[in-house]
């Protein structure tokens, strides 16, 4: 057979592509549930990281112990139980279904709230979780991560050093989100501002915009005084 003829080449390429496509589709669907489980576990780990619970072995058990409820925000700022099970796509939930999640946690007997935040850095997505004290204003801890920021510059937002800067900062000022990330060394309002990363300006600005946009959507919850 002439393996150099045009017909042969085209048929060969087509058959090969179809076989490979089936193979990959099969592998992908066979491993899907296992992968989703991993992503879910990873999300739980990230939520716990925001509560300064890090380096844990069994994230599932720890999560069930610490996180008391996965709540959704109502229009008037009150919370109601999320009945649809754990999700990892917080951005999609917020934008498409208008479902804003708040996790209620209990750390050593103190009530904490964790809200997911998401935005864009320089090269790709950035996301994180902000844990607040029971006053819904003071930050207890944060966790940030990124898809593809520059190592050593923007990627520094994923370090403990950057995340710990947020501790004890206040989110709100006059019923508006005042928490910001400013140029390194230009903090004027120590209660609300955090030093950005030098050399990672666009990523720092991304974190700033992400915090403002996402926390602002929780405004009704954050400004509501709870009578319990």
Residues that bind another protein (CB under 8 A): 3-4, 8-9, 12-13, 16-17, 20, 23-24, 27-28, 31, 34-35, 38-39, 41-42, 148, 152
**Which bin fits 146, alpha (ψ -120 to 50), beta or left (φ > 0)?**
beta
> By the 8 A CB rule, do 135 and 115 touch?
no
Which of 13/69 has CB closer to another protein?
Answer: 13
Which of 98/152 has CB closer to another protein?
Answer: 152
**Which bin fits 109, alpha (ψ -120 to 50), beta or left (φ > 0)?**
left
> By the 8 A CB rule, do 72 and 102 touch?
yes
Closest approach, Cβ 127 to another protein, in A, equals: 14
Closest approach, Cβ 52 to another protein, in A, equals: 20
Which of 129/221 has CB closer to another protein?
Answer: 129
Closest approach, Cβ 9 to another protein, in A, equals: 4
Which of 20/190 has CB closer to another protein?
Answer: 20
CA distances from 98 to 7, 91, 120 (A): 54, 10, 20
């Amino acid at each position: 057979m002439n393996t150099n003829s045009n017909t042969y080449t085209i048929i060969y390429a087509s058959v090969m592509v179809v076989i490979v496509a089936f193979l990959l589709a099969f592998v992908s669907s066979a491993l899907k549930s296992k992968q989703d489980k991993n992503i879910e576990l990873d999300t739980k780990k990230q939520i716990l990281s925001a509560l300064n619970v890090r380096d844990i072995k069994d994230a599932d058990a720890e999560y069930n112990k610490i996180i008391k409820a996965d709540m959704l925000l109502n229009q008037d700022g009150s919370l109601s139980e999320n009945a649809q099970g754990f999700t990892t796509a917080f951005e999609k939930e917020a934008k498409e279904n208008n479902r804003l999640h708040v996790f209620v946690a209990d750390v050593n007997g103190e009530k904490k709230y964790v809200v997911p935040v998401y935005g864009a850095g320089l090269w790709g997505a950035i996301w994180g979780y902000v844990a607040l004290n029971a006053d819904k204003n003071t930050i207890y801890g944060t966790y940030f991560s990124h898809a593809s920021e520059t190592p050593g510059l923007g990627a520094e937002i994923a370090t403990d050093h950057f995340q710990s800067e947020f501790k004890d900062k206040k989110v709100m000022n006059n019923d508006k989100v005042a928490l910001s990330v400013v140029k390194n060394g230009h903090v004027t309002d120590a209660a609300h501002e955090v030093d950005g990363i030098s050399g990672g300006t666009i990523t720092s600005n991304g974190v700033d915009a992400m915090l403002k946009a996402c926390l602002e959507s929780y405004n009704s919850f954050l400004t509501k005084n709870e009578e319990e």
